[in-house]
Amino acid sequence: MQGRQINTWQQVEISEIRAYLAYLTELGLARATILRKIASLRSFFKYLTLQGIVENNPFVNFRAPKRQKKLPQFLYVREIEELLKFEDVSPKGLRDRAILEVLYGTGMRVSELSGLNLEDLDLDRGYLRVYGKGAKERITFLGKKGSQALKDYLLRGRTVYLKPGLNPTERAVFLNKNGTRLSVRSIRRLLDTYVRAAALEKKISPHTLRHSFATHLLEGGADLRSVQELLGHVSISTTQIYTHLERDKIKKTYQQAHPRA
């Protein structure tokens, strides 16, 4: 990085900050890494100003570039079908199918699924009560296939996992081999198993199913506000990232259909 000679913190001006930003960009650093470095310098100069070491903070009028939003990875419907295409009717198979169906069918977070209790279910109406971030409560819905998978597990799977002598009052919906609540880590691990079995060439996490849920709803004609409510997003701006996926699809359609594209 070239520029005028700087000997003291007092001499740093906004031009040096911009030159440093350009230098970091030329190095090919990720935007998140660059923003962390800029944020550290901003805090440092705030400290120098408070201590009286510098009179003018060069960061006062400096506007850092906005953080780049990554488009969420999602599965196509055919990939979801491959993931759910297994015929294991053992207690474990029934439990795991119900977990995958609920994750995709409701769009809930994996921590929310792990925290589900029996009293949170109303499968006759397809309602599930979810406690999200900040213990915020919301109602989400589960379709016919998901509800049936969950009913099958509760009738023929959960009863096997439950250990009457050890935990007769256990209220967790999804149980491990010890008859206690299935952890977030275990849910992630079992998903990895079925991703490998379906030979899906993607890095897939429970959150990928949440992204798929939102994407498929929007592709099916759902409005953004409804998707926001179902996902439990406080701000609509958080949900709007999925509109980029729709925009890409529209652009592709335009390029395929317009004679001058």
Residues with catalytic roles: 109, 133, 207, 210, 233, 242
* Amino acid identity for residue 236 in this structure: I
- Least Cα distance to 177 among 152, 154, 160 occurs for 160
How far, in Å, CA of 157 to CA of 94, rounded?
A: 6
Whether residue 213 contacts residue 228, with contact meaning beta carbons closer than 8 Å, is answered with: no
- DSSP sequence for the chain: ---S---SGGG--HHHHHHHHHHHHHTT--HHHHHHHHHHHHHHHHHHHHTTS-SS-TTTT--PPPPPPPPPP---HHHHHHHT-----SHHHHHHHHHHHHHHHH---HHHHHT-BGGGEETTTTEEEEE-GGG-EEEEE--HHHHHHHHHHHHHTHHHH--TTT-TT--BSSB-TTSSBPPHHHHHHHHHHHHHHTT--S---HHHHHHHHHHHHHHTT--HHHHHHHHT-SSHHHHTHHHHHHHHHHHHHHHHH-TT-
Whether residue 174 contacts residue 190, with contact meaning beta carbons closer than 8 Å, is answered with: no
